[in-house]
Amino acid sequence: MVTHMASSQLNASLFCLVILPLFAHAEVDDPWQSQVELGLQALAGNSDSLTLNSRLGVNYTEGPYRHTSEAKFLLVEKDGEEDKRKSELESQANYKFDPKRYVWGNITFTDDKYGPYFEDMIVAVGLGYQALWREDLSLLLELGPGFRYQTPNLDEIDDDDLILPNDVREFIARGQAALTWQMTDSALFEGRITAIYGPSNTSFEARAAVSTRLIGDLAIKVSTTQNYINEVPPGLKNRDSIFTVSMVYKF
């Protein structure tokens, strides 16, 4: 079951990301787009397991300005013991200064109890380019400098393991490609690759998701996220993979 601490952390994270875009002043009709996702899987028999994944996304668009924020939470329990707990927060603001180019600022925070880095925060700014921009297809490319702070996860390492105990505080380069394809009136594909390079380590994240509208604003979504970090403490894997199926409600 979801612990009280995890629930409090998730509620606080969702509250912060909902509040961030509220500082913008709305002067157009319906500048907001919001999504709520929830997936739950419980198995019983030879082994008991519970998987919970949730996401809240908020978009605000007015003229050349766009703000997107999202909070995600993942909890996995096996045979009554917590196996994975991860919270992710991301907020980005874009401002277009010509039809194809824009400036952006991004803040990303990850709290991963069982990952190689317990806390990972990145602040970055840069330039973006609309390589493709059609009614049914878009491709955005972004690149810029930033700063990263990471705290290594020592709780999951044995005492006799050689560990990487140092906090990371460094300047980094962040690049991203985001593809959106409206395949049919009811089916949407979204893909994103993010690369972050720094002196201590380099990380890659690849996301792919297909959502299909069921009834009205309700849809089903199948997604996968692949994370790779080239430097991790011994005993931990470089790659982490997550596959989720969830219901999505847009409002």
Full set of structural domains in the chain with CATH = 4-250 (2.40.160.40)
CA–CA separation, 50 and 167 (whole Å): 33
Residue 202 tokens read as 């380099």
CA–CA separation, 211 and 222 (whole Å): 6
* pLDDT value of position 32: 86
162 φψ region: left (φ > 0), alpha (ψ -120 to 50), beta (else)? beta
SS3 114: coil
Residue 42 tokens read as 């419980």
CA separation (Å) from 83 to 78, 86, 233, 237?
6, 10, 18, 15
* pLDDT value of position 1: 42
* pLDDT value of position 198: 93
CA–CA separation, 248 and 212 (whole Å): 9
Q: Residue-wise pLDDT tens for the chain (251 aa)?
A: 444 444 444 444 444 444 444 444 444 456 888 999 998 766 655 556 788 889 999 999 998 999 999 999 988 888 778 878 889 999 999 999 998 999 999 999 999 887 777 789 999 999 999 999 888 999 999 999 999 998 877 775 555 555 567 788 999 999 999 999 999 999 999 999 999 999 988 999 999 999 999 988 899 999 988 989 888 777 777 888 888 889 999 88
* pLDDT value of position 156: 59
Can you give the pTM of this predicted structure? 0.79
